[in-house]
Amino acid sequence: MENARIPLDSLVLLGGTFAAGIARRLSSLPALRVIPPERLDALEMPDASPEEIARALCVTCAVVCTVEELSCGVDLRVEVIDALAERVVAEERFLAGAGELASLETHAFRWVAQQLLGHFTPKLHR
């Protein structure tokens, strides 16, 4: 991920319950300022873009999690969006079986942390 202008060190995660779980995990990392899911729930901007929501919450980044249930499992798409530049700076897809949601959340958490913080040591959060 390239972003020489502004570090993506503050973020909001969008995408319902799944994103809220990742947000809670990311909030344990001292290098990131993560908007709590409860604060996002109180925000009344139903038609706003991820960038608009991020700017309203005074953060530099929006992470959008889109979960699609398939007949064989779950397809998760994660996008990291620079709210000020209004562009996707990283995206990834994860596929998992229906019973592997906890593992999927862990993989998504580690991927987002790596995108925002660079080298990520798994010992920081299990």
Instruction: Report the CATH number of the 10-116 domain.
Output: 3.40.50.10070
Whether pLDDT at 1 is above 60: no
Query: Which one, of 36, 27, 18, lies nearest residue 125 by Cα?
Result: 27
Query: Which one, of 36, 89, 41, 37, lies nearest residue 61 by Cα?
Result: 89
Judged by DSSP in three states, 124 sits in helix
pLDDT digits (tens, 9 = 90+) for 43-92: 888 889 999 999 999 999 999 999 999 998 999 999 999 999 999 999 99
Whether pLDDT at 108 is above 60: yes
Specify the pLDDT at position 40: 86
Neighbours of 54 (CB within 10 A): 25
Determine if residue 15 is left, alpha or beta; phi over 0 gives left, psi from -120 to 50 gives alpha, anything else beta.
left
